[in-house]
A and B are shown apart, each in its own frame.
Chain A
């Protein structure tokens, strides 16, 4: 045996190892491929050997070859063999190779499941680590499903090294097997607070990745992340969290408000640039989300811009780049603050770094104004000339066009300048954006009517010099410009100075070398030109000129008739025939010009890109239905399309090459016009549609001004390629400046005049504001035709998400999971499959199979734990059921209430001794829901909710990190339920506790019979109140009822129960809590509580007792002890306050004697005590106020000397209101009576005066409530 090993290793000495392979490849530079193929042969031999070391060596070499681009998938099985070696060294090699070349379609992957599972549970943490790392690269949906549970278990591994890897790989598992997200999420969340920073960082990483894709599901984690952000010192984690907040803020503006301050602090304090940069980025995101420009945020913007400026000015190119990148984000919402740094950005345009120049270009887009557009573009044009490399030049070109054309040419004051810029751009060599320039030329010429004369002249020049543009037309798209030029010259030929010359230029033989679609436009527009020429020449007595033109057409067109391009050929032959016919007529001295030009009559207007799609289908029109009977014979087919053509698509019916007689033509045109007029969906294109343009949106803001043209309309004599002196566009810049100066001067004059005229009331026509920018008037009668859209079309941009996005599947609502299982518990099918085998069918049944198959040491343990779990579950279920049944018997209606509460969080949160059990769940539910809201709102919240929120925050904490086996499925309904009940218990404890505290503050020695050791409770109070501006003074609703030397009674009637369902006549109940405190040294017993009933209010007594019998207090009081008892009263009318007389009888027992004592008291039922704190959402509140059924009343409180939030808190606490909305010193509040009256308050404060406007549907109740509020504040 030993000999064999030695022999094996001696063999290996002569095998090539990785180093030898590399060395060999380096030594065979000439015939590398050949050398490698021999190596591969060797490797194949090695792989056939039994020795695992040899195999591993071979696989290692394959990994190297894979890097060089060789396909090694043929060795996949051998890789699996090496992976399954028991030695770490080889295992590592195997997993490395697998991670480099396995993928989802590698079929041997399915063989690895058990091996990986074995490695995951290996006692050696590095085996596990290697397996996790490998798995992260080649995890498939099957592997993810089968191993999810094992990995989940590893998340609670004792070694942080494994934990962090397990946490991280969960993201990959989620991607491949989205069903695992819900069950795994609670544990993932738990890992956010792992003691090991590495694990914590991994958890943050995973949740950030998840949240980036579906942020809304993770909003509820914001408080936790906020805590991490303020406590963590790991910059990597901080960066991740801050980035995450950047993604969350758009969804929740309140979050943004909360973030600003800590982020600002970080910006000021951090020295790490990466962190600073991300902070700035997120602050920007926050500012964007708070789109309503709140004044106090201008400081934050300033801070950001200022910090970014520092970055941009830094010598480090990276910082410069990022600074510009972030700046462009600010630009979108706060262009003003960026514009002030124009100098800096223009400076960056000169940077030697292309990336930086590109970023600076992006910024320029948002920085232009009417004032500086020309200047900026001029600068860009210089760059265009200087630029090396076409990519950057093309980028410049597109940017120039973007900048100029943005928001409907908003910033262009002089379109002649723009056209000349476009013409200058055509001189760019090798650009790929010819079509872009062309479409701009077309767009401007069509939409800006005033520019057409100039544009046509320029285009004619272009056509004349076409040879300059067609240098090498195959590659570059600059010849596309000719397409536009030809079309413009043809369409607007009436503006041509010398149409014959242009026509000649368009029919040059060289044109035949242009791309087909351009030729086609040439031919078509030559015909248009021809028509114009005819029209011009017809007036002349000498008809030879016209005939010469016809002859030229006839001579030149055959060139196009021979074109290989079908379109060109067709058009050319059509037009050729037409011209021949015209020539014939000319020779007969028939006037044809009218008819010929009629061929091209009408105007083409731009149509919005989506217009066709937006045409609504008229009612009753079924596009799929046959209009006529389906054709039975073939001959009818010829006619049918024609009918449809004219009927449905009238805009295409512009005759192009029809040779019809004049009457027919006129008739058809008439018919078409008629139809167009009648058809509401026709995109009206008549030249008289001026009105339409003005109505069209987007035009109003473009001032239409009549000014003398100060720029000569004549085409400068320079051809674009031979500019004399300044480039043409520069001349415009100069002229424009002069023009503006002149204008300014004129304006001043005018103003002076105006002043002289003593403001004769002539309103300013164009000056829209004091800003100098607006004063720049366009040089033209700019009438930008906006794109036409069908009338009924709705603007919408429905960007469909990519349905193939793997992250879509991860859009899973996790809040439900976190808050309660009551709403949507994890179904059985959602549980992670435990120990299943790939081949097995359903994950559930496969669990058993898998167990039977693989008997590993852990097996029995797992099984038993599983069984235990099942049993527990069953028990739990049984218990639940029986409980429910009991409940049913006892309080039928209360169950309904539970449903209600479970369903809607807004429902009133009510509590009573009796319904404790029932309400436990719903209460905590609503508490959790309000958790985030509470955390986000800085406004004081009614103390009830506050408590609830605190509890809710504290609730996840006690979730015990139990042992690996025991809670491998923490998602079990049972667990969460107990947690919930825990939290609700918690809550009760806390209420008591708080009461206790209050009592203590009163410096009474009170002893509560509830002695819970409740350490966590107090802590959570602090957590919850951290956000409070100032600690609220302690408040209590307990008031002294009666006191004598023996006993003291404190009464609180805060807690009411009303039967929402019940009839309001007699169903309303009020619960009164009374604290009995024994002040004597004697023992008090046999206490009996009795109240004299009134007509309206009755004490509820047990059945069978008479109306005057007292209620026995269910406890005795030793000396110094206090206890609380609750009594239920039935109340009929709640609009008036009530007073009830009562007596307490008790026996005082001393060591030697016992005496009978009596204490009289008066119960005061205020109207307030009939109100229930009910949360109300602002929209519901607004609706309520609008409804108009409410009577209003108001009250003024003078000399209230407390902060506003204290005031609100007092109203909330003493009078059971909840704050709906608070804006500065104004708040709206809401409450509801037990009989369903709505009470709305609007509380305003100024100085010491508080005015309360109130509305309620019961005026008497309202009056009383207001009186009580007044009294509350008069006492303090």
Chain B
């Protein structure tokens, strides 16, 4: 079982949190802080597994994480999940599920996409993991389902949504300072010898 999925940036700011077990809001924040503390002090060239923090889980739980540019993707899982499988799930596995999915759906994922489209990321995530269990590992399937749902949303919005979209486009235009270049770079570099399945 996956107990939680946390995405936060290099400063510990949460970008997406998804707990599959109930924690009160303050506890969630504590867990994020603790996890960030554990993860952030690790070098990039050490292994991606951490024996679980004290707040979440316990001895049976592990933190499995990956660090891309400015973001940490952390999965808190128990012993029923395969460590390498989850790592793959985060990136390479089953034809690039998570990050790759984001990449594909947003064309070029960067931290700002996550910040401004948290809901969309949630919807993608929901197609990958459900209730703490991995739902789908086939990227094409995930992307297909996400796209169908997005199309549905667009068609529902129809005419009435057009002005709002226009306004938000204008708003975005007024903000030239949004840096569009925080690309996560070539994410395939650090994953040797893991053949995709």
Contacts and interface: CB of A to CB of B under 8 A. Distances in A.
Residue with the greatest number of chain B CB neighbours at <10 A, chosen from A197, A272, A277: A272
Contact of A69 (B26, B136, B138): B26
A205 B156 contact: no
Interface stretch (A311-319, A899-907, A1036-1044): A311-319
A317 B133 contact: no
B67 to A, nearest CB: 13
A198 B26 CA distance: 36
Interface stretch (B69-77, B100-108, B147-155, B181-189): B147-155
A495 B141 CA distance: 79
A272 B197 contact: yes
Contacts of B141: 198
B49 A274 contact: no
A208 B118 CA distance: 32
Most interface-central of B28, B84, B115, B137 (chain A CB within 10 A): B84
A168 B84 contact: no
Interface string A49-84: 000010000001001101111110000000000000
B17 interface: yes
Interface stretch (A351-359, A863-871, A971-979, A1001-1009): A351-359
A274 B84 contact: yes
B134 interface: yes
Contact of A19 (B16, B29, B168, B192): B168
A355 B85 contact: no
Given A88-B153, A168-B131, A314 B49 contact: no
B10 interface: no
A168 B88 contact: no
A6 B160 contact: yes
Contacts of B16: 67
B130 A169 contact: yes
B164 A277 contact: no
Contacts of B167: 13
A243 B161 contact: no
Contacts of B14: 67-68
Interface in B113-156: 115-116, 118-119, 122-123, 126, 130-138, 141, 145, 148-149, 152-153, 156
A352 B46 contact: yes
A239 B168 contact: no
B47 A22 contact: no
Contacts of B157: 89
A103 B88 CA distance: 30
Contact of A165 (B46, B48, B130, B175): B130
Which of A12, A13, A26, A315 has the most chain B CB atoms closer than 10 A to its own CB? A13
Contacts of B99: none
Nearest to B141: A198
Contacts of B26: 69
Interface in B1-41: 1, 14, 16-18, 20, 22, 24-26, 28-29
B59 interface: no
Given A19-B171, A321-B49, A13 B164 contact: yes
A137 interface: yes
B87 interface: yes
A63 B192 contact: no
A1184 to B, nearest CB: 44
Contacts of A6: 160
Interface in A385-433: none
Interface in A297-325: 314-322
B197 A275 contact: yes
A945 B193 CA distance: 48
B28 to A, nearest CB: 7
Contacts of B123: 92, 96
A208 B82 CA distance: 12
A872 interface: no
Contact of A321 (B47, B93, B193): B47
B130 A356 contact: no
B136 A198 contact: yes
A88 B149 contact: yes
A88 B152 contact: yes
Interface string A259-298: 0000000000001111101100000000000000000000
B119 A243 contact: no
Nearest to A87: B156
B63 to A, nearest CB: 10
Contacts of A71: 24-25
A168 B130 contact: yes
Contacts of A20: 168, 171
Interface string A90-112: 00110010001101100000000
B197 to A, nearest CB: 4
Contacts of A239: 82, 85
A1016 to B, nearest CB: 32
B160 A243 contact: no
Interface string A2-15: 00011011101100
A205 B164 contact: no
B193 A278 contact: no
A352 B47 CA distance: 10
Given A165-B135, A171-B133, A318-B48, A64 B118 contact: yes
A126 B192 contact: no
Nearest to B194: A273
Contact of A322 (B46, B83, B133, B153): B83
A9 B168 contact: no
A486 B58 CA distance: 37
Interface in A13-29: 13, 17-20, 22-23, 26
A725 to B, nearest CB: 36
A915 interface: no
Interface string B40-84: 000101111111000000000000000000000000000010111
Contact of A273 (B50, B175, B193): B193
23 contacts: A9-B160, A17-B168, A18-B118, A63-B122, A87-B156, A92-B123, A92-B153, A100-B18, A104-B22, A198-B138, A202-B133, A235-B85, A235-B197, A236-B85, A236-B94, A239-B85, A274-B85, A317-B46, A317-B47, A318-B47, A319-B84, A354-B46, A355-B47
Can you list the 5 inter-chain pairs with the closest CB atoms, starting with the nearest?
Answer: A136-B131, A274-B84, A317-B47, A353-B46, A103-B22
Given A126-B148, A137-B131, 11 more contacts: A10-B163, A69-B25, A96-B123, A132-B130, A205-B133, A243-B82, A274-B83, A274-B87, A274-B194, A277-B84, A352-B46
